[in-house]
Amino acid sequence: MKKYQTLGGAMGTPSSFFKAIIFVVFLGLSSSASAQLLAWQFALPEPSKGVETSSKSTTTNEFLEPSTLTRGKGVVPKQGNSRGFSGNFGVDESFEDAEKSNSYFQFEVKPRKGYQVSLSSLKATLRRQEQSAHIYRWAYSLDGKNFTKIGREDVKITNVNNNGSAQSPVDLSSIKELQKSNKTITLRLYAWGGLTNQGKAIAFGFGKSDAKGSNAIALEGSVTQK
C-alpha cells in the first residue's frame, strides 16, 4: 500500500493521512464555534452587596481582555442587592432621556492582539422594584461615543420578583458590525421609566445570581485569528 508523509513528518497510510486532515479541519471549526465569551455571576466566592463601584467579568474567553461592568453617571449605587449589581436611575421617560442623563450599565468586549470577535447572543437576568426604572434597551458602539440601538423595540419588565427574571436572549448575530471585529465593542443597557428618585423601592439592575453562582450576564459568540 502506498504511504504518505503525514503532518508530523512520519509515514502513514492514506487512511491515517486523511484522518489527520479531518482532525485539523475539526480543530479549525471548533475554534470558531459559538461559546460563552464573557459572563458575570455575583455569588462566588463571596456574594456581592450590589453597590460595588464596578464588577470584573467572572468568565473571560482566553482571547479577550477581561471586562468590567460599570454604571453611567446618572445611576447611583445606593440600595443593596445581594448577589446582584444595581443602581438608582433617574426619572426618565424615554431612551433619549436616559442617554442624556447617562442612565446605563456598560461593559466592553476587547479582542486580544491578532484576534477578532463575532457576537451571537446576550443573556441577562434583570431585577426591578415597584417604583424603579423598568423599561430598557441594549445598544452598542465601536467608538465608545456613538451608540446604536439593538433590537426592534424597547423591553418592559413587569415582574418584581426579588430574585429578578431571566430576559429573552438578545440576538446579535445579524448585526454586521459585531461580526469579525478587532475593535473594542461597548455594550450598554439603558433603562428608564422610574416613578421617583426617592424612597427604597427604586433599584434596578442585574441579578440575582443563585447561591451556586449562576450567571446574571452572559455574552456568547466566537473568537478567531485574523
pLDDT, tens only, 132-176: 999 999 999 999 999 999 999 999 999 999 999 999 999 999 999
Residues of the chain with pLDDT under 70: 1-32
Distance CA 188, CA 108 (A): 9
Q: Please give the domain boundaries of the chain with CATH numbers for all domains.
A: 1-31 (no CATH), 35-225 (2.60.120)
Give pTM, 2 decimals: 0.85
CA distance from start to end of the chain:
40
Which residues, 6 or more positions from 184, have their beta carbon under 8 angstroms from its beta carbon?
A: 108, 109, 110, 142, 144
Q: Are 174 and 54 in contact (CB under 8 A)?
A: no
pLDDT, tens only, 37-56: 999 999 999 999 999 999 99
